[in-house]
């Protein structure tokens, strides 16, 4: 897989999920993400709990954790692409491992998001799903291998062949990995295997000090780009 090695600008997603730290440290973390994004010319996203989205719409890094299909006023309780556009959120996750939707809904939702200028990061858990999803042409794809989510196993040992297959299918600039990154070594190897971006959640939000952990991970990025 070392044919893919290159030093390049990389992308990071921090998914706040609904961890307590997303609420009691959310503002500090959001400000840090925005600051680092500008300082490093790095494409950083932070995916906020839907209930807090409106507080962060001035931050260009903010991403919704989900989007629902639907248009117009008769959408009570839904987070639609139209709503995201109105409040200024320009990107969203869809089909996250904790919020799966069926294929027909994915197709329609991505179409609505495109109409409203909302980028979609579409999550998938295996090559079979990816084969179904590529025709919908979301802005980004986030690979979430079920056997690595929330664990300590690393991507370089468990998934190298799968990463290569995904890299061969997806255009450059679109491929995120969302599990199996637990150390600086994992971080570096993921990029060497060809991923364009890394999605992180529990390693940051579940740590004793999320701000310190986020800063540490950004330091890995700085070292990688040297």
HSE-up of residue 65 (Cα within 13 Å, Cβ side): 19
Identify the pLDDT of residue 194: 86
Residue 224 has which token pair? 């990688």
**Residue 92: strand, helix, or coil:** strand
List the chain residues with pLDDT less than 50: 1-7
Identify the pLDDT of residue 156: 67
Identify the pLDDT of residue 15: 93
Residue 10 has which token pair? 């990389």
Whether 186 contacts 131, CB under 8 Å: no
Identify the pLDDT of residue 198: 92
Identify the pLDDT of residue 137: 96
Identify the pLDDT of residue 39: 77
Identify the pLDDT of residue 226: 64
């Amino acid at each position: 897989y070392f044919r893919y090695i290159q030093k390049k600008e990389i992308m990071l997603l921090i998914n706040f999920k609904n961890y307590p730290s997303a609420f009691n440290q959310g503002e500090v973390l959001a400000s840090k993400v925005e600051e680092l994004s500008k300082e490093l010319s790095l494409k950083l996203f932070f995916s906020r709990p839907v209930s807090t989205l409106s507080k962060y719409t001035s931050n260009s890094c903010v991403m919704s954790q989900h989007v629902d299909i639907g248009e117009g006023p008769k959408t009570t309780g839904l987070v639609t692409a139209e709503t995201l556009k109105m409040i200024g959120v320009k990107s969203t996750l869809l089909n996250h491992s904790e919020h799966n939707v069926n294929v027909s809904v994915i197709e329609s939702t991505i179409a609505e998001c495109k109409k409203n200028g909302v980028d979609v990061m579409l999550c998938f858990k295996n090559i079979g799903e990816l084969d179904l999803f590529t025709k919908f042409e979301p802005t980004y794809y986030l690979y979430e291998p079920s056997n690595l989510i929330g664990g300590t196993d690393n991507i370089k040992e468990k998934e190298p062949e799968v990463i290569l297959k995904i890299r061969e299918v997806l255009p450059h600039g679109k491929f995120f990995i969302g599990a199996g990154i637990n150390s600086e070594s994992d971080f570096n190897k993921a990029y060497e295997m060809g991923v364009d971006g890394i999605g992180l959640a529990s390693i940051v939000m579940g740590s004793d000090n999320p701000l310190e952990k986020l800063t540490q991970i950004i330091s890995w990025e700085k070292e990688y780009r040297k």
